[in-house]
Amino acid sequence: MAKVSWKPGNMIYPLPAVMVSCRGGDGEDNIITIAWTGTIYTNPPMTYISVRPERHSYQIIKETGEFVINLTTKNLVKAVDFCGVRSGRDLDKFQQMNLTKEEAKVVNAPMIAESPVNIECKVTEVKELGSHHMFLAEVVNVNVEDGLMDENGKFHLSKSNPLVYSHGGYYETGKEIGSFGYSVRKKKRKKKKRKGTS
- Tens digit of pLDDT for each residue in 163-186? 999 989 999 998 888 888 988 988
Q: How far apart are CA 71 and CA 91, in angstroms?
A: 22
Q: How far apart are CA 38 and CA 16, in angstroms?
A: 8
pLDDT given for residue 174 in this prediction = 82
pLDDT given for residue 93 in this prediction = 96
pLDDT given for residue 153 in this prediction = 87
**Residues 6+ positions from 163 with CB-CB distance below 8 Å:** 16, 17, 71, 72, 73, 74, 76, 77, 80, 170, 171, 172, 173
Bridge partner list, 125: 136
pLDDT band at 191 (very low <50, low <70, confident <90, very high): low
| Phi-psi map region of 65: left, alpha, beta (phi>0 left; psi -120 to 50 alpha) | left
Four-residue CA torsion sign, 138, 149, 29, 35: positive
Distance set, CA 75 to CA 13, 30, 36, 103 (Å): 21, 20, 21, 21
pLDDT band at 192 (very low <50, low <70, confident <90, very high): low
pLDDT digits (tens, 9 = 90+) for 83-139: 999 999 989 999 999 999 999 999 999 999 999 999 999 999 999 999 999 999 999
Q: Contact at 8 Å (CB) between 73 and 79?
A: no
- Measure the N-to-C terminal CA separation of the chain; round to a whole number of Å: 57
Q: How far apart are CA 122 and CA 46, in angstroms?
A: 9
pLDDT given for residue 157 in this prediction = 85
Q: How far apart are CA 114 and CA 5, in angstroms?
A: 42
The total of other beta-carbon atoms located within 10 Å of residue 137's CB is 27
Q: What is the CA radius of gyration of the chain?
A: 21
